[in-house]
């Protein structure tokens, strides 16, 4: 679990119920950017670990993906 997700949700609830201060809006924007970086990193890691196999069991992983691993 992403450590700061609870704070993001807390700020979101506060925004809907009554509004945020300027500092809270800045914090929320920073946390959202950090969250997106974390998710993108996880997706990239997952994609880099994928191998594509054809119906005969041959590895047909695209060269671009193989090169990104190295």
Where do the structural domains in the chain lie, given as residue ranges? 5-69
CA–CA dist 18, 26 (Å, integer): 16
Reported as a pLDDT band with limits 50, 70 and 90, residue 1 is low
Mind listing the pLDDT tens digit for each residue in 14-30? Answer: 999 999 999 999 999 99
User: pLDDT tens digits for 34-58?
Assistant: 999 999 999 999 999 999 999 999 9
If you count DSSP H runs as helices and E runs as strands, how many of each does the chain have, helices first?
Answer: 3, 0
């Amino acid at each position: 679990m992403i450590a700061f997700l609870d704070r993001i949700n807390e700020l979101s609830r506060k925004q809907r119920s009554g509004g945020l201060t300027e500092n809270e809006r800045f914090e929320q924007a920073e946390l959202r950017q950090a969250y997106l970086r974390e998710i993108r990193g996880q997706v990239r890691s997952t994609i880099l670990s994928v191998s594509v196999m054809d119906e005969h069991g041959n590895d047909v992983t695209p060269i671009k993906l193989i090169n990104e691993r190295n």
